[in-house]
Structure formats: C-alpha cells, structure tokens
Structure 1
C-alpha cells in the first residue's frame, strides 16, 4: 500500500514514527516526512517557519510544493495529512477535487474550534476520516462528521510518569523551542534565570541542530548541561521553563511542573491575538480548562516574559497541586493514538 504523507513539522514526524511501527511492513510512504522514514521529496529543514510573517515570505515556495504533492497523489492508495493546516487543508481540497475517490485521512486536525470555525464544514466535506487527538474536539463538528477521538500521540511515546515531587528544586530543564526565532528571543532571559537561581540547569536542544546553529542561537552556554532527549530530561527534572508548543503538554504528561514563556514577533502576535479566540496558549491549559474549567500552569506572553515575573512565579508555584492536576489530564487523554490511526489507514 502506498500512502502520500504530508508531515511538515518536527512534532508531526515524531508521531509519524510511532504510527509506522503499528503499520504493516508493506506500507510505503511517499511525500513529505523525516528522512528516517523513507525518501522524502524535501529536506524538512527548508520548511521551518515561525509565524505569519515568515509564512508570507515563503508563499511561492509552498505553492510549488503543494502542486508537487498533488501530482504524487495520482499514484497512491490513500492520503495521510498530519497537522500543518495552512499547507494541508488546501492540499486536501485540491486532491479531493482532482481525485474524488481518493481516501483522505487527517491526523492531528486543524484547530478550527479555536479560530476559523468556518473551516469545519470544509473539513467535513473534504476529509474521509478526521482523526482527532483532543477529546472535546468532536463537539464542534456536526453529528454526521466522520470524526473520532483516537487518543493522544504523546501517550505513545511517554510511558513513564514521575513518582513524586521532590521537596527541593535542584534540576531544572530549559526548553526555548525548536524554531530559531523562538530560541533567540528566549535564551537571553533563560540565561539570566540560570545565573540567578540556585539550580542545576539543562538546556534541551533539538537533535538536528548543528554546532554552528547552537553557537549562533543559544549564546554562551559553556558549563551548562545540554540534552537532546526531552522526555528523559523532563522526567529527571524538578521543574522546567518551556516555550509554548508540544513541549508544554509533554511536561504535563510526564508530571514535571513548568512555566510557559512565549515571545512572538510583534506583527505575528497582533494578527494571532485577533484571529485566535482562546483564553490560553498552552496545550495542557487549553485541555484542562475544557474538562475542569481551571488552569494547570502559569503562562507569560510577549512583554510579560521578564526575569522578575518568571522568578516570582517560580517561587510561588504550588508544585503539589500541579502534580495532582497533571494526573487528571493524563487520565482524561486515556491512551495513545497510533494503533487506532493505523487501523483506519489499513481498514
């Protein structure tokens, strides 16, 4: 079976690797994905963007890539789209128009419930199987939609949960993101925190970064521990400072207390603040608020990301309360998603 895969993000490819382990050996991927999974038509590093401004600059490039994927669709059995709605939803519409009988599976759906709810009818008409990773997501779709909660992909990778909360905070993980723009904005603040706090710091750096990338992005990190294994490092940490993104949910599912810090480009933040109709930006806060009407962790955004604010929040943090709430969140998500998505693909 040939599957056209469109997985542009690093996190999407982490989940795709778990999914491949559940698929039969005769399933072949073509399209866009991590080179470890086969012959991708493009190096994923060329796709890294941060925010609306960067996306606008690369529009022509992405249009060309979209057309290339449409051509590949004619020779495959099914299509699997993962996340990246700005690219994947237009691609799905083109494929469905040109090849109406091709089965399209969308895994990790566009967050239409948070913004652009008008996309929901389009998704229902265009996608044959909507594989949701958020338990509440189906509530926003019609009763006739082919949508189901398949579990959460992070629970395929995160098997361990912290046994308890240490009385003293000594080991602290810093995750300034995976995009270069995020890292450049947060690292000066994180380095100042490390100087002030009486802790053992570990900076989690993406595996694909070269030594030159690290030198340019992270500043003077001599004497600070570096890790390329986020789950292992978070499990061994007493606390974490994390940029927004999948990492915030990873930390919650591992049970390590953390503070979210995010600084976007001013124009990107201006646009997003008017488009996105949600109260929180952390995935775990969004989910926890859905079923408990409460927050799990502090969030600091834009000009509120200061050393003083982060230190104050760190000193006032109720880590035991976080620990108990994180158990509830893990139970809410139930199980991993790879096995069910594999069944959908091979059915």
Structure 2
C-alpha cells in the first residue's frame, strides 16, 4: 500500500490535562472527515477514550517552571529523541503538537526538517514574553492554530501562518449553567455556600499552591462555618497528593471529586484557582474567581524580567482589563486570598456575569471543527504533492 492509499495518519503530542481535552475534541472532529484515521503519539485519558494510541505516559511531560525542568532535562531530551524517531518511522500525514511549546517546538523542528508537515495547536504566549520565539515557531511549524483573537493579530504582524479557531471550551460549555444542577451532580445539593479550590493539574502546581489554598480555606471557614469546599482532582496521582495535604486540615468540610472541574466550579459561589486554562473555564461557567500562582523563586526572577503583558489570567487578557483579581508569587498570601474571596462571597459583582458572557461569545467559534478544517487542507496538500512527485518521477 502506498502512502496515498493507506488511511490518514495523524500524530499528536499533548503534555498535560488541558492539552488532553483539546486533543480529544480535535480527534473527534478529524474522525468525522476520516472515519478510518489512525492516531498515535503522546496523549492522556480523554484522547485514549477517543481512539488514540499513546506511546508514552503523558504525565512524564507535566513539568512546571524553568528551574524545575532543568532537573529532568536528560530524561526529557531522551524522550524527545525517542518520540521523534517513532513519528518519523510511522510517517504520519501531519503532526500536531498541542501546547507544551518548550517540548513540542523542538519535536516539530526535527519533524519538519524530516519532511513531515507540522502544526502547533495553541499558540505559545509569544505575545507576552520571549517574543523572538516567533521566528523559531515559523521555522518549526507549517501552521499555528490560535485559540484567542489577539494571538492571530500578533502572528499576522510577523507574517507567520496562523489561524484563529476559537476555544473548544467555549463551544462545549453552555452560555448558562445552573448552579443547583451542578451541586446535585457532585453531592452538594444541600450546601449553603460553596467554594471550589483548583490548585492545578500538575504535581508541581499542587505542591506549590495546595497548602496555601487550604490554609486560605481554613481561614474562611473560621469566619463562615456554613461554607463548604470542593476540590476536583485531575487524576489519581493528584487525588493522593490532595488527600495527603488535607490530613493537615481535618476540620475542613471538603469534598474531593475525580475530575469534573467544570461542575465543581459551576456549583461554587466563588472559585480559588491556579492561573491557566482553568481560569478561562471558570469565566465560561460565569463564576467569580480569584487567580493565584507561584513558581520556584528562580523561575519567577527570570520570568518577571521577560513578561510583556499586564495580566496573567486569560479573562483579563481577553478583556484587556482587570476583571478578576490576580495574586502572583509573593502576593499569594493567605491574608490576600482570604480577604478577596471573603469580599466576593459577601458582595458578589453582578456585572461580571454579562462581561463573562460577552467574552464567551467572542471565542465561541466551533474551534475543533475549524482546527480540523485547517489540518484537512494541509493533509490534502501533502497527499496531492505526493501524487505529483510520483507522477514527475515517472
């Protein structure tokens, strides 16, 4: 069977839980076009459920921070070499690197040099810091799929191929989600007030943020004994990590659930969360939030000199104004977090609902379908070129 006769092959690489969600949705959209498509690479449980074959454990790539990566650099370089070799041997029609730019761009560069079409799904925050990476991205990829409108504007300024596809979460999440229904689904139907706590999907994030988040919950519970807490665990390893932390706080009425961060947030009156995609999801379920984040001190010292934007969280970046409070690094204290969360519980800002809804509509673009459309164009172009090359060689 020739390359043009065999089923379409798509290699993908997702490095963390948010990438796994994006990847699973993309797989389903591609399967609509190519019922016999073959998928392989590195992915998580949602991608596996959608028919993906993962050669390595996705958890291996879930590393946060510049300094933290250094300790595992030999392991990561070895993995990159192995996965590149397997992809080249497999000869997919296209490779899609989902987020994880520090790892994926290196993979994409090597694959593109080997003649494989490469797509990077989710733009790196090149518009925010290390802006010269745009040239590396241009060399490593045939196309970038951007989730946010201001990202395409940046790529267009540098004449780098990019498509704004919108965000799959905005398509998946309804414009309104009933709080009572969400509470029923997670076993908190009789709760008076609920706070959702989301300290991250990676082990390093939970280690950095988890104790401070729980200390904040303990402070709020002292003042508001009617308050209940829910923490969604991204996977079994995170559940074990969270339950170990909770041993220090036996008095807290905490429900730990497996996954289902969306219902946890939809059930809440306020959300305390790590900066990242989860802040966008909290915006899409229209819940007040406090965004917090902390990294190794050396990572922070390097990053603070390079960041070019005013905000860390996606709701604020999309709105280009401080819709939600952010407490980063040294500002991430129990005093600061408890004071702001208490204010939001006691006097919620009703204007947020409308502002969040407008941003939801802005990025609701049927993203997975648009991403699959863009990838489909590249696949057809690649196969047409293979046919032309075969005809020319004759």
Shared fold by TM > 0.5?
A: yes
Q: Which residue is equivalent to 1:89?
A: 105
Alignment of 1:345 onto 2:364: no
Are the equivalent residues in 1 in contact too, given 2:111–2:117 (CA < 8 A)? no
In structure 2, relative to structure 1, the CA distance for the partners of 1:135 and 1:205 (3 Å cut) is: same
Are the equivalent residues in 2 in contact too, given 1:3–1:28 (CA < 8 A)? yes
Alignment of 1:269 onto 2:300: yes
State the alpha-carbon separation in 1 of the partners of residues 240 and 100 from structure 2: 28
Are the equivalent residues in 2 in contact too, given 1:184–1:218 (CA < 8 A)? no
Are the equivalent residues in 2 in contact too, given 1:30–1:40 (CA < 8 A)? yes
State the alpha-carbon separation in 1 of the partners of residues 75 and 292 from structure 2: 31
Q: Please list, as runs of the form range in 1=range in 2, the aligned pairs for 1:5-20 lying within 5 A after superposition.
A: 5-20=12-27
Q: Deviations over 1:51-91 (max 9, x none)?
A: 11121112112222222222233321111111111011122
Q: How many residues align?
A: 339
State the alpha-carbon separation in 1 of the partners of residues 213 and 125 from structure 2: 30
State the alpha-carbon separation in 1 of the partners of residues 281 and 238 from structure 2: 24
Are the equivalent residues in 1 in contact too, given 2:196–2:229 (CA < 8 A)? yes
Q: Which one of 57, 73, 83 corresponds to residue 59 of structure 1?
A: 73
In structure 2, relative to structure 1, the CA distance for the partners of 1:182 and 1:211 (3 Å cut) is: closer
Q: Deviations over 1:103-160 (max 9, x none)?
A: 2111102111111221213323432222111101122124643211111121243235
Q: Which one of 95, 103, 128 corresponds to residue 79 of structure 1?
A: 95
State the alpha-carbon separation in 2 of the partners of residues 121 and 188 from structure 1: 40
Q: Which residue is equivalent to 2:350?
A: 320
Q: Which one of 25, 28, 48 corresponds to residue 21 of structure 1?
A: 28
State the alpha-carbon separation in 1 of the partners of residues 362 and 281 from structure 2: 14
State the alpha-carbon separation in 1 of the partners of residues 213 and 76 from structure 2: 34
Q: Which one of 155, 162, 165 corresponds to residue 170 of structure 2?
A: 155
Q: Please list, as runs of the form range in 1=range in 2, the aligned pairs for 1:278-317 lying within 5 A after superposition.
A: 278-289=309-320, 294-317=321-344
Unaligned runs of 5+ in 1: none
Greater Cα shift, 252-261 or 151-160: 151-160
In structure 2, relative to structure 1, the CA distance for the partners of 1:92 and 1:158 (3 Å cut) is: same
State the alpha-carbon separation in 2 of the partners of residues 51 and 264 from structure 1: 6
User: C-alpha displacement at 1:191, in angstroms?
Assistant: 2.6
Q: Which residue is equivalent to 2:359?
A: 329
Are the equivalent residues in 1 in contact too, given 2:126–2:134 (CA < 8 A)? yes
- SS of the residue corresponding to residue 342 of structure 1 reads helix
- SS of the residue corresponding to residue 166 of structure 2 reads coil
Q: Which residue is equivalent to 1:178?
A: 201
Q: Which one of 27, 31, 42 corresponds to residue 41 of structure 2?
A: 31
Q: Please list, as runs of the form range in 1=range in 2, the aligned pairs for 1:72-151 lying within 5 A after superposition.
A: 72-74=86-88, 75-99=91-115, 102-142=116-156, 144-151=159-166
State the alpha-carbon separation in 2 of the partners of residues 212 and 241 from structure 1: 20
Are the equivalent residues in 1 in contact too, given 2:195–2:271 (CA < 8 A)? yes
Q: Which residue is equivalent to 1:216?
A: 244
User: C-alpha displacement at 1:273, in angstroms?
Assistant: 0.9
User: C-alpha displacement at 1:280, in angstroms?
Assistant: 1.3
State the alpha-carbon separation in 1 of the partners of residues 16 and 200 from structure 2: 13
Alignment of 1:239 onto 2:257: no
State the alpha-carbon separation in 1 of the partners of residues 215 and 86 from structure 2: 49
Q: Which residue is equivalent to 2:383?
A: none
State the alpha-carbon separation in 1 of the partners of residues 236 and 367 from structure 2: 26
Find the structure with the greater CA-based Rg. 2
